Structure 1
Amino acid sequence: MKRRRWRDALLQQEDLNFLLTNRVPRIALTRFMGWFSKLRNPLVREASIAVWRLFTELDLSDAKKARFDSLHDCFTRELLPGAREVDADPGVLASPCDAIVGACGAVEGTRVFQAKGFPYEAAELFGDAGAMEPYRDGCYVTLRLTSSMYHRFHAPHDSQVERVTYISGDTWNVNPIALKRVERLFCRNERALVETRLQGSGHRIALVPVAAILVASLRLHCLDLLLHLGYRGPKRIDCDTPYRKGEEMGWFEHGSTIIVFAPAGFTLAEGIVTGQPIRMGQALMRLP
């Protein structure tokens, strides 16, 4: 309990938090972490996970494996079968990941918010104004994954991934402290636009995974490749990959953010408000 109070008091020092997680060589540190986390050394692994536990509420009780080969192996862990229940209602769009709900609600034309008083243009986030048009006046939810959470994400509905657009960028921290200080933060960071179409209804849904400091690597099964700061391949990749609701789509190398966009007529599910924890598979939005 004393450790928790000490840790929380330290993390709540906003100036210090912002300094330590942003006023550092972000990209260099992120690349180093990508290398370091994959070291298969028992001492490095155990020391790293111990430090991780010191600063987070890391819970591995629902992990499929009891022991991990590396810190990266722990970050990207799979869950035990049945550890998450996926809402089977076809009228529900399920959360693609475990997260804390950030800014959410109606898209105002093409404008959304990263935090109160900090709007940004979703067209800039998408990197293509035309790609944003299906979601004009629609609905959105920002889902923030903390470092201790389960880092894999899943299909929110029976759907077809039609296109992925990769947008390179910075690696600002995406915690609430940074979101209140850095304008258009999500539009600055490395990210991918995953465009999907729901089977049956034909509605278009967009998932925008946004990388952050110590992350900057995204695995998408529909591409069978790793998107990261050193990626030099095509930026826009057409796909034709079907997913069943709840099926795994990929993972982050660390915690970060997924922003979900839906067209006009979709509404937030009951209980979806800023600050609310949510688990993969729980109701996120309702179809028209």
Structure 2
Amino acid sequence: MNISRQLQRLALNEDINFLLTNRVPRAALTRFMGWFSRIRHPWVRDVSMAVWRAFTVLDLSEAKKTSFDSLHDCFVRELKPGVRPVDPRPEVLSSPCDAIVGACGRIGDDPGAQVFQAKGFPYPLADLLGQGVRAKAMIDTLRGGSYVTLRLTSSMYHRFHAPAALSLEHVTYHCGDTWNVNPIALKRIERLFCKNERAALHARLEDGTPLLMVPVAAILVASMRLKAVDVALNAQYRGPHQLPCAARYDKGEEMGWFEHGSTILVFTPPGISLSDGVDTGRRIRMGEALLVRRS
């Protein structure tokens, strides 16, 4: 067995994985990685990418660029035009990103609008979104609707796109921790998504239907960029946390990116439910059918 396979097997051991990715100085390690990944030196880039490849399968055949200036440059890579066709059906909300589907299903009718991060680990939307007037109004709208958790792994394409033609009206930034958001941590840390750094994207579809997307950052990836907000949202951000927007996107248009990979939570009101075949564990690509309006 080669070293790469041995390292990958080691990373899959739940106890070791949890210790290595969570029982460490998460904030300091994340800041260091943010700096280190941007070093533009061929030796640093090549060694970093070799280590990265040792832990995962990294396929760059779809990347728009054929060479990268730094590790970060590879993390946030764009894709060649046309490699992610978007489902054109008007009733379909497409996946905003490449991902593995995590917990998904129906949003609770209870006051907190309970959903799950993993089996047996519920969390209320009130904890995720906070207690502001806008958050409370969104929770009231979403009760009885649908939710889906989309986990981006480190080797995936890290940009996210509009699942339908929509208007982004408001962004609420929540500073927080940098727990790993892999399934191992989600089974051990209660309300993990509510603890981590995240941004709540309040949007409306063309007919006025509300849509909520929440990109959640994680260890090594506590930074996200939104095209509608010209700042990096991360631990160093010192600006206002309530960010009004007036940005319109066509279906499939890029909305932003993670600085590495993490999770996007998608919430819809009643009348929109999971597309056929969308279930926990499925790999999905940006543009494929994720949710569907039911007549």
Matched, 1:176 2:179: no
Q: CA deviation at 1:11?
A: 1.8
Aligned partner of residue 224 in structure 1, secondary structure: strand
Matched, 1:111 2:145: no
CA distance in structure 2 between the partners assigned to 1:147 and 1:105 by the alignment = 25
CA distance in structure 2 between the partners assigned to 1:90 and 1:13 by the alignment = 43
CA distance in structure 1 between the partners assigned to 2:238 and 2:202 by the alignment = 21
Structure 1, gaps ≥5 residues long: none
CA distance in structure 1 between the partners assigned to 2:40 and 2:71 by the alignment = 8
Aligned partner of residue 229 in structure 2, secondary structure: coil
1:27-74 superposed Cα distances (whole Å, 9 cap, x missing partner): 000011000000001100011011111101110000000000100000
From 197, 217, 221, the counterpart of 1:215: 221
Q: CA deviation at 1:3?
A: 4.9
8 Å CA contact 2:77–2:158 kept in 1: the answer is: yes
From 228, 236, 239, the counterpart of 2:245: 239
Query: Which residue does 1:139 correspond to in 2?
Result: 146
Please tell me the residue identity of whatever aligns with 1:85: P
The TM-score, its normalising length taken from structure 1, stands at 0.98
Matched, 1:12 2:12: yes
CA distance in structure 2 between the partners assigned to 1:55 and 1:276 by the alignment = 21
Q: CA deviation at 1:172?
A: 0.1
1:228-247 superposed Cα distances (whole Å, 9 cap, x missing partner): 11111111111110000000
The TM-score, its normalising length taken from structure 2, stands at 0.95
CA distance in structure 2 between the partners assigned to 1:37 and 1:9 by the alignment = 25
1:115-156 superposed Cα distances (whole Å, 9 cap, x missing partner): 000000012111235132211111000000000000000000
From 175, 200, 211, the counterpart of 1:205: 211
Please tell me the residue identity of whatever aligns with 1:151: H
CA distance in structure 2 between the partners assigned to 1:286 and 1:3 by the alignment = 44
Please tell me the residue identity of whatever aligns with 2:117: Q
Aligned partner of residue 87 in structure 2, secondary structure: coil
Structure 2, gaps ≥5 residues long: none
From 173, 176, 179, the counterpart of 1:166: 173
1:59-102 superposed Cα distances (whole Å, 9 cap, x missing partner): 00000000001000000000000010100111000000000000
Q: CA deviation at 1:5?
A: 4.1
Aligned partner of residue 68 in structure 2, secondary structure: coil
8 Å CA contact 2:8–2:56 kept in 1: the answer is: no
Residue correspondence of structure 1 range 81-92 to structure 2 within 5 A:
81-92=81-92
Please tell me the residue identity of whatever aligns with 2:37: S
CA distance in structure 2 between the partners assigned to 1:140 and 1:227 by the alignment = 24
Identity of aligned residues (%): 63
From 164, 181, 195, the counterpart of 1:188: 195
CA distance in structure 1 between the partners assigned to 2:118 and 2:62 by the alignment = 32
Q: CA deviation at 1:265?
A: 1.4
Query: Which residue does 2:45 correspond to in 1?
Result: 45
